[in-house]
A and B are shown apart, each in its own frame.
Chain A
Amino acid sequence: MYVAVKGGERAIDNAHAWLAEERRGDTDISELGLPQIREQLSLAVNRVMAEGSLYDPDLAALAIKQARGDLIEAIFLIRAYRTTLPRIGHSNAVDTGTMACDRRISATFKDVPGGQVLGPTFDYTHRLLDFKLAADGEVPGAQTATPDQNPDQNPVPRVTDFLNRDGLIQTEPPCDDTPPDMTREPMEYPAGRPLRLQALTRGDEGFVLGMAYSTQRGYGRNHPFVGEMRVGTVAVEMDIPELGFSVDIGEVTLTECETVNQFTGSKTQPPQFTRGYGLVFGHSERKAISMALVDRALRWKELGEDNLGAPAQDEEFVLSHADNIQATGFLEHIKLPHYVDFQSELELIRKLRAEAFDRTSTDGQKEAAK
C-alpha cells in the first residue's frame, strides 16, 4: 500500500549529520587546521577569494574545510556570507604600479627596467611526483630577490607604458566615473567594460580559461603577447571624510596581466598594438591571463573590428555563463523533484504516441486493402 512520503525534515537533519561525519573522515587522522589550509593550500584559497569576491584568506580556508575541498561549494559559502556584509564605503582604486612584486615577467622584451623576476612559479618545474614530499615536507629556505627598485620610492614601471611613449599601443583613456557594481544592480546588456571586467574576475576559472583558449585556437583570434604579468601586494587606501585624507587600511595580493595584442588597424583605428587586461585577487596567473585574452576579444566593437561570431566575442554569452555559482545552481537543481512537470510530459507523450500508432495502423489497413 502506498504511503505518502513524510518525514522530509528528519531525513534532511540526518543527511546533514552524515555529511559532517564524511567531511571529518577517519578520526584517527588528525584534523585539518585552518592555518594549514591557508598556508599550504594557498592557491585554492586564492581561487576561492577571487571567485568569491571577498579578500579574506582565513574565511576562504574555513570555506574550503567546510566544503570538503569542493572549491565551487567553498566559493558559494563565501558569496552567501559576503552578501550579508554591510557596505561601509569603498576604497580608492589600488595602484598596481606601486606593487611590491614577488614575480614580474614580460614576454615581449628580453629585459625591462625593474627586471624580470621569476618568483615562485611552477613554470619550469618538471612535473615529477615528489615522493620525498610524501615522507616529510620540510624544504630548505629559498634565496629571493625583489625587483631592483624600492617600490615606495621608485615603482616598477609598466611595460605597456614604454610602448605607449612611441604611440605604438592604444592609449587607455583615463576615467574617473564610479564604475557600476554588478552585485548591486541587475546585469543589463550591453554591459560595458567595467562590468565585463568585474564579471570576468569573479567568473569561473575553467570557463574563462576555456573562452580564452578558444580565441587562441582561432575562434576570434587576437594574437596576444603577455606584455607583463606581475604578482605582489598593493596597499588599499580609503578616504576618511572626517579626517580629510586617505588612510592605509591593509594590503592585498593581486595578479595583474596586461597583454599586448597585434592589431593591423581597422576603419576607425590606426595600426598599433591593443591591450587586454586581467586583474585577479591572490596569485592566480592562469586566471589573470585568461581574463586578459577574453577582455581583448570582447573589445572588438570599440576597436572597429569585425564580429566573427566567435563565442568569446559575444558579451551576453560570455557574461551570462561565466558565474559558476549561477551555473552550478541551475545545473544541479534538476536533482530536485520535477514529478509534476514530468507527469504532464508523460500524458502528452502517451497521447502523441497513441495517435501516431492509430495513424500507422489505419495506413497499414489501407495498404492491405489495396
Chain B
Amino acid sequence: MSNYNFAYLDEQTKRMIRRAILKGIAIPGYQVPFASREMPMPYGWGTGGVQVTAACLTPQDTLKVIDQGADDTTNAVSIRKFFEKTAQVATTAHTNAATIIQTRHRIPEAPLTEAQILVYQVPIPEPLRFLEPRETETRKMHALEDYGLMHVKLYEDIARHGHIATAYAYPVKVEDRYMMDPSPIPKFDNPKLESAAIQLFGAGREQRIYAIPPYTKVVSLDFEDYPFEASKADHACDLCGADHTYLDEVIVDDAGGRMFVCSDTDFCAARQADGHRGRLSPTEDAA
C-alpha cells in the first residue's frame, strides 16, 4: 500500500474534508455538503466515517474502531485493518487509550475526554428525510428552523401508540438551533451526546459532514408530559453484572433461552477484569 498517501486520501482531499469539519464545528448540528470520494469499500460500509477519520488522523494517533459497540465485528475489523495498512497508526480496543474512535451505532459506555474524537458512520444524515424525501425541501426547513413536521410525527406516535415509536436514530436539537440525526445509535446513548470529546459525523453516500463540539447542548426531542427516556433491556449484564449499560440479547439454545451481555465489549471486559461477575459468569476463575 506504499503507493497510497498517509491514510489513503490525498492531501487535497483531506484538506477539503477538514474544511467541511471545521465548518461543521462552527455551526453545531448543521449538515455541511462535501465532495465525498469513492472509497475502496462500499457506500453503506462507513465511507463517510472513514473519510472523516482519514482527515483527522496523524501518525501519533491511536485508533479504535467499533461496530455495534464491539471491536471484533467484521466491519470494525476491516476498517481497523484498512488504517493499519494505509496509515500505520497504533490501534487499540481500549476506549481510554484511543485518541480517535470510529463507531457505528454506539457511543462507548466510558465517558470520553477532551483529548478524544468520536467519529460516527452515518447512513442518512437528514433527520427529516422520512417525513420529507426531498433534499431541496429539507434544506429549506432547516434554514427556516421549521421543525413542526417532526413534532407532529412524535405527537401522532403518542396518540396512536402511547409512546414515541422511535427507538434508535432518535432526533435531537443541537444548541437550540439545528435538528440533527445522531446516526442509528439506540436512544439509550442519546444523553452521551453531551460530551467532552469532539463528535464528528460522516455520511459518504449522502455527501454530508456535521459535528457536535465539546460541551454542546444536545436535547432529545420530547414533550413536557411525555419526557424523553433513555431505555434499555430491563436486565443486568450476564457476564459483568452491569445494570447501567446497553445490552445485546443473545439466543443461547433451541428452546429460546436468552442471555443479556454488554454491547460495549471493551467496557464489559474491563469490568470482568476488575472482578465484577454476572448471572452466567463462570464460578471459578480459570486463571
| CA of A184 to CA of B67, assembled, Å | 29
| CA of A9 to CA of B248, assembled, Å | 22
B68 touches A326 (CB 8 A): no
Q: Using an 8 Å CB-CB cutoff, how does the interface string of B65-90 with A read, 1 for contact, 0 for none?
A: 00111101111111001000000000
> What 16 new A-B contacts, CB under 8 Å, besides A329-B43, A329-B205?
A1-B280, A2-B252, A9-B72, A80-B40, A83-B39, A84-B4, A186-B34, A189-B136, A325-B42, A330-B205, A333-B123, A336-B67, A336-B75, A336-B104, A338-B68, A339-B68
A326 touches B280 (CB 8 A): no
> Which A residues touch B233, using CB under 8 A?
343, 347
| CA of A146 to CA of B166, assembled, Å | 65
* A332 on the B face (CB < 8 A): yes
| CA of A329 to CA of B44, assembled, Å | 5
* A320 on the B face (CB < 8 A): yes
Residue of B47, B75, B184, B208 near A341 (CB, 8 A) is B184
Residue of B67, B163, B248 near A343 (CB, 8 A) is B248
Which one of A120-128, A208-216, A249-257, A348-356 contacts B? A348-356
| CA of A82 to CA of B38, assembled, Å | 9
Residue of B4, B76, B232 near A8 (CB, 8 A) is B76
Known A-B contacts A188-B33, A336-B75, A348-B165; the reply to A328 vs B261 at CB < 8 A is no
A340 touches B72 (CB 8 A): no
A341 touches B186 (CB 8 A): yes
Residue of A11, A320, A330 near B43 (CB, 8 A) is A330
B246 touches A340 (CB 8 A): yes
CB distance from B111 to the nearest CB of A (A): 19
> Which A residues touch B123, using CB under 8 A?
330, 333
| CA of A181 to CA of B33, assembled, Å | 15
| CA of A344 to CA of B135, assembled, Å | 28
B136 touches A316 (CB 8 A): yes
Known A-B contacts A186-B35, A186-B36; the reply to A345 vs B167 at CB < 8 A is yes
Residue of A8, A341, A348 near B77 (CB, 8 A) is A8
* B188 on the A face (CB < 8 A): yes
CB distance from A13 to the nearest CB of B (A): 10
Q: Using an 8 Å CB-CB cutoff, how does the interface string of A184-202 with B read, 1 for contact, 0 for none?
A: 1111111000000000000
CB distance from B284 to the nearest CB of A (A): 13
A325 touches B74 (CB 8 A): no
| CA of A343 to CA of B246, assembled, Å | 10
Known A-B contacts A8-B77, A325-B43, A355-B162; the reply to A344 vs B168 at CB < 8 A is yes
CB distance from A268 to the nearest CB of B (A): 23
Residue of A188, A320, A344, A348 near B163 (CB, 8 A) is A348
Which residues in B have some Cβ–Cβ distance to A below 8 Å?
Answer: 4, 10, 33-40, 42-45, 47, 67-70, 72-78, 81, 104-106, 123, 134-136, 161-163, 165, 167-169, 184-188, 205, 207-208, 231-233, 238, 246-250, 252, 259, 261, 263, 265, 280, 282
B42 touches A184 (CB 8 A): no
Summed over the interface, the residue pairs from A and B with CB atoms below 8 Å come to a total of 146
| CA of A341 to CA of B39, assembled, Å | 25
A333 touches B35 (CB 8 A): no
> Which A residues touch B250, using CB under 8 A?
2
* A65 on the B face (CB < 8 A): no
* A6 on the B face (CB < 8 A): yes
A340 touches B68 (CB 8 A): yes
Nearest B residue (CB) for A182: B35
A333 touches B33 (CB 8 A): no
B163 touches A340 (CB 8 A): no
Known A-B contacts A316-B135, A329-B205; the reply to A341 vs B165 at CB < 8 A is no
Closest 3 CB pairs of A and B: A333-B44, A329-B43, A344-B167
B35 touches A332 (CB 8 A): no
Which residues in A have some Cβ–Cβ distance to B below 8 Å?
Answer: 1-2, 4-9, 11-12, 76, 79-80, 82-84, 86, 183-190, 316, 320, 325-326, 328-334, 336-341, 343-348, 351-352, 355
Residue of A2, A11, A185, A352 near B74 (CB, 8 A) is A11
B247 touches A337 (CB 8 A): no
> Which B residues touch A341, using CB under 8 A?
105, 167-169, 184, 186
Known A-B contacts A329-B45, A340-B263; the reply to A347 vs B67 at CB < 8 A is no
> Which A residues touch B169, using CB under 8 A?
341
A2 touches B205 (CB 8 A): no
B249 touches A344 (CB 8 A): no
> Which B residues touch A1, using CB under 8 A?
280, 282
B72 touches A76 (CB 8 A): no
| CA of A19 to CA of B163, assembled, Å | 47
> Which B residues touch A345, using CB under 8 A?
167-168
B106 touches A340 (CB 8 A): yes
Nearest A residue (CB) for B37: A83
B249 touches A346 (CB 8 A): yes
B186 touches A343 (CB 8 A): yes
CB distance from B43 to the nearest CB of A (A): 3
B38 touches A337 (CB 8 A): no
Nearest A residue (CB) for B76: A8
| CA of A167 to CA of B43, assembled, Å | 47
6 A-B pairs in the complex with CB atoms less than 8 angstroms apart: A186-B34, A338-B68, A338-B105, A340-B168, A341-B168, A341-B186
> Which A residues touch B68, using CB under 8 A?
337-340
CB distance from A2 to the nearest CB of B (A): 5
Nearest A residue (CB) for B208: A186
Nearest A residue (CB) for B106: A340
B33 touches A351 (CB 8 A): no
Residue of B72, B75, B104 near A5 (CB, 8 A) is B72
Known A-B contacts A329-B44, A344-B187; the reply to A186 vs B207 at CB < 8 A is yes
Nearest B residue (CB) for A328: B42
> Which B residues touch A8, using CB under 8 A?
72-74, 76-77
Residue of B36, B45, B163, B280 near A351 (CB, 8 A) is B163
CB distance from A82 to the nearest CB of B (A): 7
